[in-house]
Structure 1
Amino acid sequence: MECQTSKDSTYVMGIDIGTTSAKVVLFTRSGHVASEAEAPYPTSSPKPDYSEQDPLLIEEAIVHSVSEVMKKSRIKPDQLLSIGFSAAMHSLICVDDSNRPLSPMITWADRRSIKQVNHYLKEDRSELEKNGTPLHPMSPLFKLLWMKEHAYTPYLNATKFVSIKEFFISRWFNRFVVDYGVASATGLFNVHTLDWNETALNIAGITRDQLSTPVSPTYVCQGLTEEFAQQLGIHRDTPFAVGSSDGPLANIGVGAIKEGDLTLTIGTSGAIRKISSSPARTLKQIFCYSISERHWVLGGPTNNGGNVLQWAIETLSPSNSDTSLTRFENALSLAQTSPPGANSLLFLPYLHGERAPLWRADARGAWLGISSTHTKADFLRSCIEGIVFNLYQISAIVENVTGENKRIYVNGGFARSRFWLQLVADVFGKNLEIPLTHQSAAWGAAWFSLMAIGEEDNLENIANHIPMGDTIYFNQEKHSLYKDLISLFVEAQASQEEIAAKLSAYQIKTP
C-alpha cells in the first residue's frame, strides 16, 4: 500500500543491492515502509563454477527502482532526507581509468579459485586471518590471485578493483571510497587496524592505490551528476551514506545490537550473525567483519538457503501454469503434511558447495535414509530441515566464540512463512522475534544515513524505531526430537565429506 503524504513529512531511503535483485525502500522516520520497488537481474555461468553479472544492468535496476519508489510514493524530492547503501559482499569488478567495467562483476558464489584457496590452506594463515575472512573462493583476494595466475586480461589492464557498491559511488559521485564492511569482505583488509593488509595485497599482485579509500559507514557522498539525478528523480545534493554490507545491516535493521542478540537470515542463501564491540581474536569456521570503529559482526554464511528449496520444488514438481509464488506456497503446504524429521529422511543441503561451517567449495548434497515409503512431502520437508540444521550448526560455533545466544531475530524471505518460522524456533529451541518489515538491510542502511546527516546520534537508538510483529514460541517436545536429528546430521556430514569431494572432482573431469 503506497502512502500519500503531507508537505511537512520527511522520509529516508535504503538501497539494497542483493544477489538477484535491487531493492529500494522508502521509510518513514519511525521505520515503517512507505513505498518499495524491486528489479531483478540475471546471473550467468559461462563455465562451471563461474558466477557473473553485468554491473551496468545492476545499475539500471537500481535507477529504475529509485525512480519507481519516488513516483509511487508521490513525495517531493525535498521530503527525502537522505539515502543509505547496502550491498551483497565479495563482489569484484575490474575497471579502467574512466571507471568503465573491463570485466563482468564476479559474485560471491563464483568458485573458479578453488585451486588457489586449497594452496593457501596448506600455508601459514596467521597473517591472512587478521582479515577476518575465511579462506574461500568467495573472497576477492582469491579471485584476484586466480586472475593473476591466469593472466586475466581485465586484471592486467585494470586501473582499479572495486565492489558493486564502489562502482556506483564512483560513477555517481566521482570518488573511490569503500565502507569498512565491504572492505572486510575482500580478504584484503585488516579488521583490527581498519586498513588494507599489505601481505594480502602482495599475494593478489595489486597495490593500495588500485583500491578505494576505506571509510566509516556514515561517510557522506553528495553532488550527484546531473544525468543520474534526473534519472533517479531526486535532488543532486541529496546526501548518500556509504552504509555497509547487507549482513551487518540486516542485524542493525532488526535491532539485534545488544549482547546475546543473534540474527538468522534465509534468503537465496543464509547466514547467522552477531554484533560485537570488539573483533574476534581467533577465527574457527566463522567470519569477523568490521562495521564501524566500534562495531564488528561475527558469524557464518551458508551458500544453501532458499535456493535449495527452489531447486527441490522445480525438480520434484513438473512445470505447470502456476506462478512461482503459488508453486512455492503449495510446496510449503505439502511439506507441512510430513511430520518433524520427515519420516526419518535426512538431507545434506550442500547443492552449491558450502561456506560455514565446512568451508568447502567441493561439498555436495545428499539424501540419507530413503525408502520406498517416502513421499514428495517428506523430500520437501527434509530439504527445509537440512537448511535449518546447517544454520543451527553455525549458530553453535558462533555461541562458543561470543557467548550465549539469548534472543533470535529473523529476516529474509523465509520470514513470510509461518511454517518455516515455527520449524526454526523448534530446531533452535528459542523463541523468534519477527519485525513487521522484511527489508531490514535497507532500514539499517537508511539509519546510517540519518546518523550521517546528524538526524540520529547513535546506532543503538534504531531499536526504538523498528516496528515488531509476532513472537514465534518454540515447542519443547519437537526441539528434543530435533536435537537427536542434528547429531545424526553432523555425523552424516562428516561421513559424506570425502566422497562428495571425489564426486565433485569426477564431475569436473567428465565431459
Structure 2
Amino acid sequence: MNLKYVIAHDVGTSSCKTVLVDTLGNTICKSSNSYPVDVPHPNWVEQNPTDYYEAAVKGSKNVLNESRISPTDVVGIVFTTQAMGIIPIDKHNRVLRPNITWVDGRAEKQAKKIMKKLMGEKLFKKIVGIELVGKDVIPKLLWIKEYEPTIYNETEYFLDVNGYLKFRTTGKKVTEYSGACSYGFDLKKKDWMRFIIKAAGIDIHKLPPLVSSIDNVGGLTEEAAKAMGLVEGTPVFGGCDDTQSAAIGSSAVEEGEAHIYLGTSAWVCVTTKKNLKFKHAAVCLQSGDPNMNIVVGIIESAGSCIKWIADEFYKHEQNDPNIKNIYELMDEDVKKVPAGSDYLICTPWMRGERCPVSTTTTRATLFNITHEHTREHMMRSVYEGVAYNLRWIIENFIKDFSFNITDLKIIGGGALDKQWMQIISDITKKKIQVTNNPQMCGALGAAMCAFVGLGIYKDFAEIKKIIYPQNTYLPDTNNFQQYDKLFNSYKSIYYSLKKTYSEINSWRF
C-alpha cells in the first residue's frame, strides 16, 4: 500500500512550523516561517492574521517541494494554533482588525466589570474557581464593544487563529471545541457557555458553530489549493489549540498522565476524563481527544526568560563565530554554580503570570543579589525560577485534584537542555522523561487529529506507537533540602511584593 500524508501546521506566536507526516507517523520534512508581533501600546500584543495564512501557504509549498511527493497523496490538512485569538470577521468576509493575541492584557477593567456584574470578584472566584483577568477573551471582547463599537457591531463572527485559518482554507466559519474553551465552553454539553457569555454583555450570535478536532470541516477551496500547491477538496480537519496538540504529542494521553511543555511559555498538563472546576488559576479544558479533558496550569514566560539571559548577558558570545550553540555554552556555565544559585532567587514573571498565580501586574524579580553573584548565578537562578513555578503548579494539582503525579514527560525546545531537565527533576522531585521528538510534539499531535478523523488510527492512545520516552532524569536527593528552603522563599516573594507590583504597574496597563 502506498503511503499517504498529512500536512500539519503548528501556528505559534512567532512562526508557523509546517510538518509533512506520513501515515506511519514519520516526519518527512518540515518548514518554519516567521512573522512579526506588534506592540502598539504597553500590554497590548497584536498580529496581522494574513501573516498566519501566508506562512502556512509558504510552509505547504516548501514541504511539497522538498519531499517531491504528489499533492494527490496528501489526504488531510490540520492546524494547531496559539489559543485565545480574537479576529473579527464581517459578513463580507473582511478582517476588521488585527488579532488580539493571548499575551495581550488590555482588558483588566473589563474583567473586573464582568465579575462585579455577575456576582462580585470574591464570589465569582469561589464559584468558578478562577478570577477573570485582562488577558482573558471575554473581557477583551467587551473591550472591543466599548472602545471599538463599529468593529463590534459589524462583526459577524469572532474567530480564533485556528478558526481563521480554517476559514481561509475552506470558506467555513467555525470554532473547534478546545479553541472555544478560551471564550467559554461547557465541557458537558459541548456548547458555548451561553449564560456567562450573555451575562457579560457579549452577543452569543457572534460566536460561530462548533466542531471537534477530528471533524472534516470541509475541503480546500480552489483559491487555497492553488496557493498551497495542493488538490482542491483536500479535507481540512478541526485541529485544536497548541496546548491540546502538544498534550497529544507528548503521549501523555491516558487518565492521570502528566506532561510539561517548555517553550517560549510553559505549562503543566494532566489528562483526565473528569470535568473539574478551575482552582488556583489552573483550568480544565477540552482535550484534543474529544473524549477527554486536560487540566492545565500555564506559565507565561519560560524559554523567553532563557532567551532574555542569552540576548542581554551573552551578546559577545553570540557574535563569536567559534561558538556554534550559545545555549550549550550557557548549559556548561550553569553547571559551575551550585544548586540554589547561592541563595539568589529569580521569579520569572516577565509578562505577569497565569498559574500558579493569576496576575497582570506582577513582574520578574532577581531577589537577594550580593557581590558574590555573577552572570552565571543569574542565569542558573532563571532556570531554577521556572522550575519553582512548575513545582508550585504540580503541588496544587496534587492537592486540588488528587492527581498521582510520579513522573513527567517533557516536550518543547527546553527539553533539549539537559542541565535544565536535571534542575527541574531536582526541584519537583519527579522522574523526568524526554520524548523522542520533543520539538515536533505539537505538529504530530495535530496530525493525530487528522489520522483519527480519517480512520487511519482508531484512537489517540495509538500516538504511543509514534512517540516514546528517550532520555530519563532522576532527582538528586542531595539537593532536596536546599531547594525546599528556597521554594518556600520563592512563594513568599510573590505574596510580599504582590501589592507593590500592583501599585507601580496598574497605571501602566
- TM-score range relative to shorter protein: over 0.9
Answering whether residue 158 of structure 2 is matched by residue 197 of structure 1, we say no
After superposition, give the CA deviation of every residue in 1:250-283 in whole Å (9 maximum; x if it has no partner): 1111210223311101111111111110210453
Runs of 4+ deviating beyond 4 Å: 124-134, 322-325
Distance 1:158 1:507, change over 3 A: closer
Which residue of structure 2 aligns with residue 139 of structure 1? 136
* TM-score with structure 2 setting the length: 0.93
Contact 1:305–1:387 (CA under 8 A) maintained in structure 2: yes
Answering whether residue 231 of structure 2 is matched by residue 235 of structure 1, we say yes
- Structure 1 residues 90-489: aligned runs within 5 Å: 90-122=84-116, 123-124=119-120, 135-186=132-183, 188-291=184-287, 292-318=289-315, 321-322=319-320, 326-400=325-399, 401-437=401-437, 438-489=439-490
Contact 1:259–1:276 (CA under 8 A) maintained in structure 2: yes
After superposition, give the CA deviation of every residue in 1:347-397 in whole Å (9 maximum; x if it has no partner): 111111111111110011111111011100001111111111112111211
- RMSD of Structure 2 on Structure 1 (CA): 2.3
Partner letter of residue 7 of structure 2?
M
Distance 1:46 1:282, change over 3 A: closer
SS of the residue 1:351 aligns to: coil
SS of the residue 1:492 aligns to: helix
Number of equivalenced pairs: 501
Contact 2:9–2:16 (CA under 8 A) maintained in structure 1: yes
- Structure 1 residues 14-33: aligned runs within 5 Å: 14-33=8-27
Partner letter of residue 413 of structure 2?
G
After superposition, give the CA deviation of every residue in 1:66-105 in whole Å (9 maximum; x if it has no partner): 1111111222223323232211111101111122211100
Cα displacement (A) at 1:202: 2.2
Contact 1:176–1:213 (CA under 8 A) maintained in structure 2: yes
SS of the residue 1:236 aligns to: coil
Contact 1:272–1:395 (CA under 8 A) maintained in structure 2: yes
Contact 2:128–2:278 (CA under 8 A) maintained in structure 1: no
After superposition, give the CA deviation of every residue in 1:111-142 in whole Å (9 maximum; x if it has no partner): 11012223445534778999887522222101
Partner letter of residue 229 of structure 2?
G
Distance 1:93 1:133, change over 3 A: farther
After superposition, give the CA deviation of every residue in 1:422-479 in whole Å (9 maximum; x if it has no partner): 1111111122121121211111111111111111221222222214322222222123
* TM-score with structure 1 setting the length: 0.92
Contact 2:79–2:165 (CA under 8 A) maintained in structure 1: no
Distance 1:81 1:468, change over 3 A: farther
Contact 2:166–2:236 (CA under 8 A) maintained in structure 1: no
After superposition, give the CA deviation of every residue in 1:40-59 in whole Å (9 maximum; x if it has no partner): 11111111110000000111
After superposition, give the CA deviation of every residue in 1:8-40 in whole Å (9 maximum; x if it has no partner): 233333211111111111223333321111111
Distance 1:55 1:480, change over 3 A: same
CA distance in 2: counterparts of 1:130 and 1:55, whole angstroms: 35
Distance 1:274 1:119, change over 3 A: same
Contact 2:278–2:284 (CA under 8 A) maintained in structure 1: no
Which residue of structure 2 aligns with residue 86 of structure 1? 80
Partner letter of residue 466 of structure 2?
H
Distance 1:406 1:506, change over 3 A: same
Cα displacement (A) at 1:493: 1.7
Contact 1:254–1:409 (CA under 8 A) maintained in structure 2: yes
CA distance in 2: counterparts of 1:480 and 1:325, whole angstroms: 37
Contact 1:347–1:385 (CA under 8 A) maintained in structure 2: yes
Partner letter of residue 240 of structure 2?
S
Partner letter of residue 171 of structure 1?
R
Contact 1:133–1:184 (CA under 8 A) maintained in structure 2: no
Answering whether residue 44 of structure 2 is matched by residue 50 of structure 1, we say yes
SS of the residue 1:38 aligns to: strand
Distance 1:89 1:226, change over 3 A: same
Contact 1:52–1:106 (CA under 8 A) maintained in structure 2: yes
- Unpaired runs of 5+ in structure 1? 1-6
Contact 1:249–1:442 (CA under 8 A) maintained in structure 2: yes
Contact 1:261–1:406 (CA under 8 A) maintained in structure 2: no
Contact 2:89–2:159 (CA under 8 A) maintained in structure 1: yes
